[in-house]
Amino acid sequence: MDAAKRKRQAKWIRQFRKIHRFTGIFLFAFFLLIGITGLLLGWKKQIGFLPGTAKGISNNAADWLPMDSLKTKATAYLTDSVDGNLSTKLDRIDIRPDKGIAKMIYAEHYFELQLDCTTGYIIQTGERNSDFVEHLHDFSIFERKIKTGTDVIKLIYTSIMGLAVITFSITGFWLWYGPKRMKQNR
């Protein structure tokens, strides 16, 4: 390899090192957050971050109460027995046909109610800590706090972090491979 080509390659390696170092310093806390929350989400069932799923009386949908009735019973229980100040705005109803239950998952807090679809009885309650960790993981927790009604913060954050991972992968590869290539071409 001629001296000019070697110099050019060394310059590229120095540039990649600067990019790698600068982005690493700037994004260190975010990578740590993503790593920790990703690990917790991967183990959420094993470490109890998600309430277990109860079993209802019947998994035959013909025996079940209408969803409207289940929703009404859940709302009454939430306001009367849990906390009257909690929002009753539902994010989703997670139906588990094989278990015969409906999980009421709320939009503005992390409390979950599990109802027997046949009787409408509340058979389990619990905190969905995994949802909090997920919202921290993708930064949508800030979207929830300021109530933008959009996913703009989450999209900006995930775009920056996705591009950062790509940048780290490319610069990290060249920081490893570049010197090897230079040694081979001596």
pLDDT digits (tens, 9 = 90+) for 51-88: 889 999 999 999 999 999 999 999 999 999 999 999 99
pLDDT for residue 186 is more than 70: no
Q: In the predicted model, what is the mean pLDDT of residues 126-152? A: 87
pLDDT digits (tens, 9 = 90+) for 104-137: 999 989 999 999 999 999 999 999 999 999 999 9
pLDDT of residue 117: 97
What's the DSSP call for residue 81?
A: I
pLDDT for residue 8 is more than 80: yes
State the Cα–Cα distance between residues 19 and 25, nearest whole angstrom: 10
- CB-based contacts of 33: which residues, under 8 Å, 6+ apart? 136, 137
Rounded to the nearest integer, the mean pLDDT of the chain is 89
Q: In the predicted model, what is the mean pLDDT of residues 166-180? A: 84
Could you tell me if 40 and 133 are in contact, meaning their C-beta atoms sit under 8 angstroms apart?
A: yes
pLDDT for residue 185 is more than 80: no
Q: Residue 90 CB: number of other CB atoms within 10 A?
A: 14
State the Cα–Cα distance between residues 113 and 87, nearest whole angstrom: 13
Residue 115 to residues 15, 79, 120, 123: CA-CA distances in angstroms? Answer: 59, 15, 6, 6
